[in-house]
Structure formats: structure tokens, C-alpha cells
Amino acid sequence: MSADPKTSPEEAPLRAFCAVMCESDAPTRVAEDLPGWLEALGVAPDDRETLAQHRARLLIYRRMVHSRLRGVVEEYLPRTAAVLGNPRMRSEIAAFMAEQAPHTVYFRDIPGEFLAWAAPRWAVDPELPPYLVDLATHEWLDGEVANDPAGGEPASELPLALERPVQLDGTTRLRRYAFAVHHLITAPPGAAPEPPAAEPTALLAYRDRDTLRVRLLELTARAAAVCARLLAGEVLQLALAGACTDIGEPMNDEFLASMAGFLADLGERGVLLGARAD
């Protein structure tokens, strides 16, 4: 990182402090030539002298920041962290800080930002197990749904109609995995889990209106196909017909009866809130 011509002299020390926290080579630069690096960052001579007196503290604070970020990620993704192991987890946090760093002001949202950055890297890394992204996505699902500001919307008071889309609780999520990673959540979080079965899995997640706890519902291929289309805003008739096309089944009486029961169950759970007015 070099001096930004748009950075004012007053902002330069803060920019330098951020560089110490984020840049991958910051420990080496601080240890070998902190004054020269600060000069390259546009820090004024007086400020360079002041910061140079706190070389050790800067590196200590960098370790503290990285440790705090790693702690909150591991809190939400404990089994993912166990699969990665401590050295790889530390290097992932350092790379995340160098390439992006958190944009959110809430610690609870950091794991989601970290996962959005890490998932593409992990998916193509032959040294990592192929189920890792599914596992991390599923572990984050609880925090994602629990902290969603949506949810608890009133029922529409409109009965379901084939020509209308449906209204779903705002916390509703559909997740599809190539591995049955949801079974790993019952395993102790302190150690790396056993590899999950490689089987297509679809889960519906939502926040319970009474307990505010995150609930999961494992879906059949039929239910998952219908939910995907309903969440996309399709009217009920098109969602049912399209789901049949997606899974290669006829839309017969047995299918319709099965989906009627499924939709009724979603209504009892407070997930399905009636037809949408639009």
C-alpha cells in the first residue's frame, strides 16, 4: 500500500494504522523499516516519529484484532474451523483482512462476510474436503436466520389462490447441499467431524415466531422444488407445475395432495402467511 493522493495529512496516520492491521506483509514492514513505510503511506514526519515509538504495540494490536475476528468466526463456524485447523484458520483470517476486511459494524455479521469471501476459495482448493463449503454455509445459517431483521410479519388474511403468489415469513431460507452436512451439527464442535454422506439435501430454515429459535425442516425433492419457486415469487399454480417439470413428475392428484399437506404444515408453523396481495 502506498500513499493515496486523496488522503489528507490528518487521515494519513489512520490509513497507516489500517495498513498495519490489514496488509499481509505488515509485520515484516513494521519490523524492518517502519519509518520508511509510514513515509510511503504519506504520514507526516512528526506522526511518523510518534508511531515509530510504538512499533511493538502496533504488532500486538494487529494480533489482537485478528484474534478477535477469528474468535467470532469460530463461534459461528466451530466445526468448519476444526476442519481447517488453527494454522489454516489464522492464515485465512489474515488473507481476508488483506483482501477485503469486514465492512459491517456488527461483529455478528462478520462470519457471513468472511464466508462469502472464503467459499469461492475453498470450493476450488484440492487440499480441503469437498463438503467444507456446505458445512460452513449450514453452520452460518443459524446466525443468518437468527439475526435477520425481517420475520414475524402479519398474515395476509388472504386464502391461498392458484393465481397469486404466497406470502412467507421474512426469515425463510431454502438451502441445498451436495452433502448431508446437517447431520454433523449434532457432533461435538471441538473436533473435526467425520465426513458426511454425499447425498443431495434440501433444508428449509425459519425463525419460530414464539420461541425465536431457528427451526429446520428437511425437504423432499418435491417440496424443495415448490419452495424454490414460491420464494422466487411465482404464483402458486406456476410453482406447482414448474416443480413437477424440475423433478420430472406428473402433476397428478397424488402430487397435489402431498403438496397441499406440505403447505398446510408450513401454515401451522407460521412460515406460510396466506396469499400475497400483489
> Residues spanned by CATH 3.90.930.50 within the chain?
155-275
CB 219 within 8 A of CB 227: yes
**pTM recorded for the entire structure:** 0.87
pLDDT mean across residues, the chain: 91
**Total residue count of the chain as it appears in this document:** 278
- Domain at 155-275, CATH from 3.30.2130.10, 3.90.930.50, 1.10.3720.10, 1.10.760.10: 3.90.930.50
CA distances from 6 to 9, 22, 122 (A): 10, 20, 36
DSSP helix/strand/coil, 130: coil
Interatomic CA distance for residues 273 and 268, integer angstroms: 9
Q: pLDDT band at 33, cuts 50/70/90? A: confident
Q: Write out pLDDT tens, residues 231-259.
A: 999 999 999 999 999 999 999 999 999 99
Q: Within the chain, how many helices (H) and strands (E) appear?
A: 11, 5
| Amino acid occupying residue 223 | A
Q: Write out pLDDT tens, residues 67-82.
A: 999 999 999 999 999 9
Q: Write out pLDDT tens, residues 187-208.
A: 666 667 788 999 999 999 999 9
